[in-house]
A and B are shown apart, each in its own frame.
Chain A
Amino acid sequence: EPEVTQTPSHQVTQMGQEVILRCVPISNHLYFYWYRQILGQKVEFLVSFYNNEISEKSEIFDDQFSVERPDGSNFTLKIRSTKLEDSAMYFCASSRPSGESYNEQFFGPGTRLTVL
């Protein structure tokens, strides 16, 4: 069964450094998402991406964040200058294309980001 994969599983970085989190969505999916979960808190929506552009973003997704689909398989989340409060588990998700808008999202295993 196809799965969403994410790398690395754990990323440790110094405050102020740039990080790139990588995701490979399921191959025939066209809608992509990033969520994050700060330890002990809810899973929060960050951004959705379709047709090579952001379709929706939350207030969390400020100018420090960017997303990109550099090729036909990868979907990346970049944080330009990490802050301590960016420490969280970051989940990538994708959903399949169709005329309906209610397809379930398939999630990757997550990348745990630790900012020191």
Chain B
Amino acid sequence: AQSVAQPEDQVNVAEGNPLTVKCTYSVSGNPYLFWYVQYPNRGLQFLLKYITGDNLVKGSYGFEAEFNKSQTSFHLKKPSALVSDSALYFCAVRDIGGGSWGKLQFGAGTQVVVTP
């Protein structure tokens, strides 16, 4: 079975400071990992994904994420947060070894609040 944990319900950061949103996963095989962001009254917007290769993945809006196989983590990072980054962030995993047909397993979400 696959699962995703986002240990923080909310992350508060001042504008201009680094932002990190944590995610750990559990899969039976090798994972495909994704980050999505949700703004109020909007759908989930894709930020970035890890499939294979370089452990540091760069995505939209200046976000990046680091895949760490030994720690089964895929933390989302941004070097300098903006007020407009305030949103709900979801980590998701797809287990490519589990015979799944594209099913994404989502974490509970982390609310990011960036203050001016």
Contact = CB atoms under 8 A, between A and B. Distances in A.
A56 B101 contact: yes
A108 B42 CA distance: 8
Nearest to B100: A56
A106 B36 CA distance: 10
Interface in B22-66: 32, 34, 36, 41-46, 49, 51
Interface residues of B, number: 25
Interface string A83-99: 00000000101010000
B46 A106 contact: yes
B102 A107 contact: no
B46 A109 contact: no
Interface residues of A, number: 27
A105 B106 contact: no
Contact of B102 (A43, A91, A95, A109): A95
Contact of B42 (A33, A93, A109): A109
Nearest to B50: A102
B11 interface: no
Task: Give the interface centre of A55, A95, A102, A110 by most chain B CB atoms within 10 Å.
Answer: A102
27 contacts: A4-B43, A6-B43, A33-B103, A33-B104, A35-B106, A41-B108, A42-B106, A43-B92, A43-B104, A43-B109, A58-B103, A91-B43, A91-B44, A95-B102, A101-B96, A101-B102, A102-B32, A102-B49, A102-B51, A104-B49, A105-B46, A106-B46, A107-B43, A107-B46, A108-B43, A109-B41, A109-B42
Interface of A: 4, 6, 31, 33, 35, 41-45, 48, 50, 55-56, 58, 91, 93, 95, 101-102, 104-110
